[in-house]
Amino acid sequence: MEGRRGPLAKVGPFVLWHDHPAKFGAGPMDISAVVITRNEAHNIGRCLEAAARVAKELIVVDAESTDDTRAIAEAHGARVTLRPWTNYSDQKNFANGLAQGPYILSLDADEVLSDALTADILRQRTNGLHGAYRLKRLTNYCGQWVRHGGWYPDAKVRLFPKQEARWAGDHVHESLVLPPGTVITDLNGDLLHFSYRSLDDHRDRIDRYSDLHARAMFEKGRKGGIIKHLFAPWVKFIQGYVLQAGFLDGWAGWSIAVMSARAVRLKYEKLDALYRGANA
């Protein structure tokens, strides 16, 4: 790759390289990298540095961060827009609307393009982008890369035409909606996902997301009950740790399975609480 100025960071077995960010030229194969943020100062720099190797434009929509997220993003050449939080899909669709390029590379702030993935995106761009592209996501859990337990390859469509796609879903786990018949190509290399820095980080996120899951289920009229309270957490644990070979990831696999079971339990407890409150 041209413009290489030395290593950006060594992440486990991966070495990320910094290139001079290309200037936006509104060409037919140009890519706009789009990220939504809130208090991501510890992540956003490496995300944008890696994205700049393939994208001609960096877009950040920040939901009123109280840390240095916006300043760091601007220092990396991103066009930053401040917008109060609504929900995941709405924030992402708004951010996509700001992009000038015909193709969107949608990233979370805790994701980084690996060298192999960067090379394949550049190859696809040189040959001519068409349809949408699916990326394999490799998660780093408390410093360990996780390849089992249903966490890998965790493939996501993240590179797609701006005019032909939109995000859907109100609460959590937004989904990308593409036109019927869209050709989806699987890319080589991994999208490095620095998801959980510590066990406390995982616990906090479970507490937050279980609220969102319970609210979404409540609004759809779904119910829990004693059977799901008792058995669903165990089913989740066995699925991840045994059936999906989470045990091969050692302590990380055990921790993930236990935490996943806890997330299921909290989800149904909070769902039942919502129904009790509605009937009070």
Query: In this model, does residue 178 exceed pLDDT 70?
Result: yes
Rounded Cα–Cα distance for residues 7 and 31 (Å): 23
Report the half-sphere exposure of 119 (CA within 13 A, side-chain side). 9
**Domains (range + CATH), the chain:** 4-196 (3.90.550.10), 199-279 (no CATH)
Query: In this model, does residue 4 exceed pLDDT 80?
Result: no
Q: Model-level pTM?
A: 0.84
Phi then psi for 164, rounded to 5 degrees? Answer: -120, 15
Rounded Cα–Cα distance for residues 149 and 266 (Å): 20
Place 16 in a pLDDT band, splitting at 50, 70 and 90.
Answer: very low
Q: What is the mean pLDDT of residues 122-151?
A: 97
pLDDT in tens, 140-163: 999 999 999 999 999 999 999 999
What the block records as the tokens of 108 is: 């979370």
135-149: b or e for each residue (b if 16 or more CB lie within 10 Å)?
bbbbbbbbebbbbbb
State the pLDDT at residue 2.
Answer: 33
State the pLDDT at residue 12.
Answer: 44
Residue with tokens 């992009």: 99
pLDDT in tens, 50-69: 999 999 999 999 999 999 99
